[in-house]
Amino acid sequence: MDEITRLEYLKIMGVERWSDRTMIEPNTATIKPNPMENKPIIDHWESLKEEVIGCQQCELCQTRTQTVFGEGNPNADWLFIAEAPGEQEDLQGKPFVGTAGLLLTEMLRAIGLTRETIFIANILKCRPPNNRNPKVDEIATCYDYLIRQQALIAPKIIVAVGRIAAQKLLKTNEPLSKLRGVVHHVDNIPLIVVYHPAYLLRKLSQKQAAWQDLQFALKTYQQLQTA
């Protein structure tokens, strides 16, 4: 991405230019202890990935182009979880590609992170037809994959991206407005709710609120580091 395009994405968020590198250092690739026996974590990770690639447990296997396992550092401190793959994600097999993906990349950059130092996953590993909302049985079938990913990654903080992901992870029907700005917990891991980049592209009026969400997530993470 050229510099002009990158600054345009930052402008959407209400961030003129990010230059402060003192707030947080990007994660390193330091390997965390594997809580599951004494085997290298890659063995478990690759096995899980193969299961997802070949999964046929629900009807979405009949309409997908390919599964979207997730992307990033499997030892990341930060785990970003969204709802489901979209059309481009289904075609490319990667999460958050296209315009919303570019905006997410700049949102991460604004708080000193990169896509390589976090892990991005979806609750569903297959795209629902026409990008409809996930069905209850689809979530129930696919959720185990996400739980296993989370266990292997052992993140220090989880970021729920968008309303549907937040509601499913927190098992609530509360609106996004009541879920934002609060430190929730899932399996004793702090969880922060943020707007979905695709929503921000439609609702530019929320760009300042989105920036506040990111700063809140960063502050929560930094407090974990000093606790």
Confidence of residue 11 (pLDDT cuts 50, 70, 90): low
pLDDT tens digits, one per residue of 104-139: 999 999 999 999 999 999 999 999 999 999 999 999
Residue 4 falls inside a structural domain: no
Q: Is residue 18 part of a domain?
A: no
Q: Is the pTM of this model over 0.85?
A: no
The whole-number average pLDDT for the span 43-57 is: 91
Q: Is 44 inside any structural domain?
A: yes
What confidence score (pLDDT) does residue 68 get?
97
Q: Is residue 11 part of a domain?
A: no
Domain span at 131: 40-226
Reduced to 3 states, what is the DSSP secondary structure of residue 157?
Answer: strand
Burial 7-27 (b: 16+ CB within 10 A, else e): bebbebbebeebeeeeeeeeb
Would you say residue 166 has pLDDT above 90? yes
Whether 121 contacts 145, CB under 8 Å? no
Classify residue 155: in a domain, yes or no: yes
Count the domains in the chain: 1
16-25, 32-41, 216-225: range with highest mean pLDDT = 216-225
Over the stretch 58-103, which tens digit does the pLDDT of each residue have? 999 999 999 999 999 999 999 999 999 999 999 999 999 989 999 9
In a domain, 19, yes or no: no
**Mean pLDDT score, 162-169:** 96
Q: Which pLDDT belongs to residue 21?
A: 39
Sequence-ordered strand ranges (E) for the chain: 71-72, 78-82, 119-122, 157-161, 184-186, 189-194
Q: Is residue 200 in a domain?
A: yes
CATH number, domain of 120, equals 3.40.470.10
Q: pLDDT category, 207, cuts 50, 70, 90?
A: confident
Which residue, among 139, 107, 106, 99, has the nearest Cα to 122 in the 3D structure? 139
Q: Is residue 46 part of a domain?
A: yes
Angle between helices 3-13 and 207-226 (to 10 degrees): 90
